[in-house]
């Protein structure tokens, strides 16, 4: 059970995924041959899969799906108390010239996205990179913005946003006190 305030329900997550999927689908006209979704570990990965599923339902096709681990690209790696868990990166397509949509659950400071851009460019030079997020917190420290946003929320600075999908149990989006 999450100890925090629920900001959005599971059904609101579903609605936000549909909005993001519709924006992406409309932008590509349902033609995803040159497009790829890349989920950022951890919660960006299941979110990207949900978006792909929705696009396939609506258009009969979906972008290629990838997974990106950014653990070693973070600018706070030396400040953490524990070593990061390294997860598998899967980029099953040629990055060069591709239209890539990075997918993450929450856009807060922009540091995760900066690290993802660094990691992704190690695989090649994309034709374009866009960003899709479930929640935009509006707490940006870097000049980064999302192109596709499911919802916005601005909890107090001492709280982080935690996204839990069906597979996590207690699905919803929560504001939780930061733990040091």
What is the per-residue pLDDT across 65-112, written as a single tens digit (0 to 9) for each? 999 999 988 766 656 567 667 899 999 999 999 999 999 999 999 999
- pTM of the predicted protein model: 0.94
Say if 156 falls within a structural domain: no
Say if 159 falls within a structural domain: no
What is the per-residue pLDDT across 146-174, written as a single tens digit (0 to 9) for each? 999 999 999 998 999 999 999 888 899 99
Range of the domain at 59: 11-74+86-151
> Taking Cα atoms as reference points, which of 27, 8, 28 lies closest to residue 16?
8
> Taking Cα atoms as reference points, which of 101, 35, 26, 98 lies closest to residue 64?
35
Q: Provide the pLDDT for residue 170.
A: 87
Question: How remote is the C-alpha of 63 from its chain's centroid?
Answer: 15
| CA pair distance 54, 22, nearest whole angstrom | 9
Q: Provide the pLDDT for residue 139.
A: 83
Q: Provide the pLDDT for residue 85.
A: 78
Q: Provide the pLDDT for residue 92.
A: 97
Q: Provide the pLDDT for residue 77.
A: 61
Say if 169 falls within a structural domain: no
Say if 122 falls within a structural domain: yes
Say if 55 falls within a structural domain: yes
Say if 177 falls within a structural domain: no
Give the total number of structural domains in the chain. 1
φ, ψ of residue 159 to 5 degrees: the values are: -125, 145
What is the per-residue pLDDT across 120-129, written as a single tens digit (0 to 9) for each? 999 999 999 9
Say if 166 falls within a structural domain: no
Contact 39, 49 (CB under 8 A): yes
What is the per-residue pLDDT across 131-153, written as a single tens digit (0 to 9) for each? 999 999 988 889 999 999 999 99
Q: Provide the pLDDT for residue 49.
A: 98
Residue 136 belongs to domain with CATH number: 3.40.50.2020
What is the per-residue pLDDT across 9-38, written as a single tens digit (0 to 9) for each? 999 999 999 999 999 999 999 999 989 999
Say if 123 falls within a structural domain: yes
């Amino acid at each position: 059970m999450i100890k925090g305030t629920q900001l959005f329900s599971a059904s609101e997550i579903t609605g936000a995924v549909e909005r993001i999927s519709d924006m992406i689908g409309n932008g590509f006209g349902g033609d995803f041959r040159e497009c790829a979704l890349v989920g950022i570990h951890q919660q960006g990965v299941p979110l990207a899969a949900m978006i792909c599923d929705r696009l396939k339902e609506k258009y009969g096709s979906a972008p290629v799906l990838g997974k990106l681990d950014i653990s070693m690209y973070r600018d706070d790696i030396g400040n953490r108390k524990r070593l990061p868990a390294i997860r598998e990166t899967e980029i099953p397509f040629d990055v060069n010239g591709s239209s890539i949509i990075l997918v993450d659950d929450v856009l807060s400071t922009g540091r995760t996205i900066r690290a993802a851009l660094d990691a992704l460019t190690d695989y090649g030079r994309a034709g374009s990179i866009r960003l899709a997020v479930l929640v935009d917190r509006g707490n940006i420290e870097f000049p980064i913005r999302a192109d596709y946003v499911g919802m916005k929320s601005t909890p107090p600075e001492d709280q982080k946003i935690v996204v839990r999908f069906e597979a996590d149990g207690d699905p919803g989006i929560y504001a939780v006190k930061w733990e040091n």
